[in-house]
Structure 1
C-alpha cells in the first residue's frame, strides 16, 4: 500500500510562486499590461515574467483529465438542484425564477405590527406573529387556491376552506419569533413576555400552548436542532440558552469569554447540526460546536461594527449568509473564516433603523434583502453578486421580517403596516 505523503510547506510556497508567475505571464501574453504589472508588483515576481501562453495550455490539459466528481445527491439536491457551492461551480446557470417575478398571492392582517414569520419544513404552512400578541397559521395550498386566476367558487361556498387554519392567543406581549418543529405538528413562539410557548396545531380547537418555558429575559430569536429535541434561544441578554424541549432543562456555555457582549439578534443551526451560529448587537457572528456548546469561531465586527441582523446557513453548511444594519449582506466561508462576497446596493439611506433579514431563495441561486426606506426587495445572483430587478413589496411600513420557502418559489413578508404578504411565482401548472 502506498504511504500517505506529507505536504511540505516549502513546496506549497514554491508552487504558489510558480502559479502567480504563470498568471502574470498569461496576462502579458493576452495584452492586459496594466493588470500584469499590478499583479507582478503585488506578488513581487522576481525575475520579471515574460509573456507566455503556458497557463492557458495547462488549464486546458488539466480540464481534459479532471476526474468527474460524482457525489451522492441528497433529497434536497435532487428536488431543488445542487445549491450554492463555489468550490466546484463558477458558471452555474440559474434555473429558479427571479424574486422580482413573484406576485402577492395572499394578504393577512393582525391588529398590531406584524413582526415574526416562519415556514414549516415541508413548505405547506406559514405562521405570522404580531405586536398584538396573536399568532396565525396559514395553509399554503389554500392561499394559492384563493388567489388562483380561475378560482371561481359559487357564492357562499367554502369548498377550499379559509387559509387561516389556526389563530393562537397565549402571549401577553409582542410575538418576536416563530419556529416550526422539524418533525412534529408543533409551533414554537418566543415573546417579549419572557416566555417560549409550544402549540400543538394538529388539534383544531387549540388556542393555548401545551407547554410554556419561562426565561429571565425577552425572547428575541431561536432555532430548532434538526432532530427537534433541542431549541437554542437568544434573548436581550448576551448569554445564549439551549433548552431540552422535553424536559425544559436549560444549558449554557460554561466559559464566559465565549459569549457575546450584547443581546442576540439571530440564531441558526447548520443542516447537519454539527455547529450553530449566533449574531448579536455587539456586531459579531459566532460559530458554536453543536455538542459541547463552546464557541469555535468568531467574526468580530462582521459588518464593520454595525449590529448584525440575521444569519443563515447554506444547505451544504459551507457558507453563512449575514446581514447588518450597515445594509450590507455578506457570504462567509466557514472553513477559512473569510468573507467571500459582499452584496451591495440595498441601503438607499445608508444605515437602517430596524433589523432586516437576508435570505436565500429555495435553490440558493439568489440572495434577497428588503430595502427599509423604499419597502422594495433587493436581489442578487448569489454566486457573482450581480444586482437583479427590484420588487416593490407593497407594504405601507417597514418590512420587519422576511422568510423564503424551503422548497418552492414563495416567500413571506411581515410589516409594521399590520399585514403579512405571501408571495408566489406561478407556473403554467399552478
Structure 2
C-alpha cells in the first residue's frame, strides 16, 4: 500500500476507482480491480456505489482548479513584489494614507459595468455628478452611476458606432458631446434627462474624437462654448455649441485625424493622425497661422495624446535636462503621444522628443496624465493599463491586467476645484488675498482617485481608492 495514504483513504480511493469504472461502463475492469483489492460485495452496495461514483472526477477537477488558483496567486505575488521593488518611500506612504497626488489604480476594478452589446470605444466622467458615459460600436451611449455601479439610461440616436464622448460646455450648464461613424456630432443635456438638444453635421467622414475646449479668460465672448472635433476627412473643426455653427476648420494633417487634447486654459489644441504625426494648434491665431508645431517620432498611426499638467513640469523638466521647470501658469510645455508602434513619446513643445517609454506589447489606445503630475497612465491592446513614473525617468511602476480583451479607452475623473475660504478680516478685496496672492491661486484642486476604462470585452471598469 502507498505510504502517502492512510488505510481509510486507500479504501476510499479503491471504492472511488471501482465506482467510476462501473459508472463509465467498464464493468469487467471494475470486477477485476475489486477481486484484486479484495473489496467485498457487502461493503459495496448500490448506495455506496452511488456515493463514490462522482468522487474521483470531483477531486480531479478541484486539483486543476486549485493549481490554477495557485498560479494566479503566484502571479499576483510577483506583481506586488515588482511594485515593492520599484516603490519609493513617498509612494509607500501614499498607499498607507491614500494620498490623492500619488494614488494609482490597482486590480480588481471597483465596478465592472455590463450592458453594451458591442466593443466599447470611449468613456467620460461628468465633472460634478457621479455619472460616467460610455460609447460603443452598438451605436448607443450608456450613462452609469459609477458609485452604485448601476446603469442609469441608454441614449439612442446615432445610426453607426459611437467613437468618442466628452462632458463640458458653457459655464453652469454641462453638456455631453458624442461623435460617430455616421458623420455627426450630437449634444445631450444632462439637465433635461439627456435630451438630444443639437446635432452638428459638417464632417465628410467618420468623426473620431470630440473635446470641449475649456473656458478661456473670464468674460471671453465664447467662454466655454467651444467644442473641437477630429475626423477621417483629415480636418479638425471648432464649433460653438450654443448656436451649433462651425466657427473654423483646421487643415494640415494628411490622413485621418484620430484624437484631440486641449490645454486647461483652452488656448492650445493637440491632434494625432494616421499620417504618423501629432500637431499643435494655437487657437488664439487665425486658421492660416494656427498650426504651431509638428511632432514626428512615431513610425505608425498615432492613436492618442495628452498635454502634461503643470504639476508634472518639475519631473518632465528634469527628464528634458533642464535645471529649472517652466512656469506653472504656462499651459503647453510638455505632451505625450502613443501609437500603433507600441511606443509612448514625451515631447517638449519645441518638438524635441525627450523620452520614449517602451513596455506595451500592442497598440497604445489612450493616455492620461495623473493630475498630481508624477505619473502617466496608458492603456493598450495588450489588455493592460501601465503606470509610468515620470519622476523616475519614466519607469513603469505598475501593470494592471485591466480586461479580457483590448483596452480601448481610459479616462481620469476631472478634479474638483474649490475656492479657499477668504479670511473674515476683510483680507479678500478686489480678488486679491492679503498676502498679495491672486484670487485664482487660492482655488484648491481636489484630485479624485477615480479611473475608468472600456474594452472590446464589452465591459466598462471603474477603479477607485
State whether structure 2 residue 272 is matched by structure 1 residue 279: yes
Larger Rg: 2
What count of residue pairs does the alignment treat as equivalent?
A: 302
After superposition, the Cα gap between the structure-2 partners of 1:92 and 1:288, relative to the gap in structure 1 and judged at 3 Å, is farther
Matches of 1:123 and 1:306, distance apart in 2: 38
Matches of 1:277 and 1:376, distance apart in 2: 25
SS at match of 1:390: strand
8 Å contact from structure 1 (residues 102, 424) kept in 2? no
Give the 5 Å matches for 1:91-130. 93=90, 95=94, 96-97=101-102, 99=104, 101=106, 103-109=108-114, 110-122=116-128, 124-130=130-136
SS at match of 2:148: helix
After superposition, the Cα gap between the structure-2 partners of 1:295 and 1:123, relative to the gap in structure 1 and judged at 3 Å, is farther
1:41 alignment partner in structure 2: none
8 Å contact from structure 1 (residues 240, 259) kept in 2? no
Q: Output the aligned Cα RMSD.
A: 2.2
1:92-131 CA-to-partner distances (Å, cap 9, x unmatched) read 9555455353541112220111111112234732110111
State whether structure 2 residue 227 is matched by structure 1 residue 264: no
State whether structure 2 residue 324 is matched by structure 1 residue 297: no
2:442 alignment partner in structure 1: none
After superposition, the Cα gap between the structure-2 partners of 1:101 and 1:419, relative to the gap in structure 1 and judged at 3 Å, is closer
TM-score, normalised via structure 2 length: 0.61
1:310 alignment partner in structure 2: 304
1:221 alignment partner in structure 2: 209
Give the 5 Å matches for 1:13-24. none
2:385 alignment partner in structure 1: 377
2:451 alignment partner in structure 1: 411
After superposition, the Cα gap between the structure-2 partners of 1:274 and 1:326, relative to the gap in structure 1 and judged at 3 Å, is same
8 Å contact from structure 1 (residues 222, 268) kept in 2? no
SS at match of 2:255: coil
Deviates more, 1:123-132 or 1:227-236: 123-132
1:340 alignment partner in structure 2: 354
State whether structure 2 residue 279 is matched by structure 1 residue 246: no
SS at match of 1:101: coil
**Aligned with 1:365 (options 374, 386, 399):** 374
State whether structure 2 residue 157 is matched by structure 1 residue 179: no
Matches of 1:411 and 1:100, distance apart in 2: 7
Structure with the larger helix share: 2
**Cα offset for 1:365?**
1.7
Matches of 1:170 and 1:387, distance apart in 2: 41
**Cα offset for 1:164?**
2.4
After superposition, the Cα gap between the structure-2 partners of 1:345 and 1:192, relative to the gap in structure 1 and judged at 3 Å, is same
Unaligned 5+ segments in structure 1 are: 1-90, 144-162, 426-430
Matches of 1:97 and 1:314, distance apart in 2: 16
Deviates more, 1:213-222 or 1:243-252: 243-252
8 Å contact from structure 1 (residues 179, 189) kept in 2? yes
1:325 alignment partner in structure 2: 340
After superposition, the Cα gap between the structure-2 partners of 1:102 and 1:112, relative to the gap in structure 1 and judged at 3 Å, is same
8 Å contact from structure 1 (residues 223, 268) kept in 2? yes
TM-score, normalised via structure 1 length: 0.66
Unaligned 5+ segments in structure 2 are: 1-87, 95-100, 216-223, 311-330, 416-447
After superposition, the Cα gap between the structure-2 partners of 1:199 and 1:319, relative to the gap in structure 1 and judged at 3 Å, is same
**Aligned with 2:190 (options 178, 201, 204):** 201
8 Å contact from structure 1 (residues 286, 295) kept in 2? no
State whether structure 2 residue 427 is matched by structure 1 residue 387: no
1:27-66 CA-to-partner distances (Å, cap 9, x unmatched) read xxxxxxxxxxxxxxxxxxxxxxxxxxxxxxxxxxxxxxxx
Matches of 1:288 and 1:338, distance apart in 2: 17
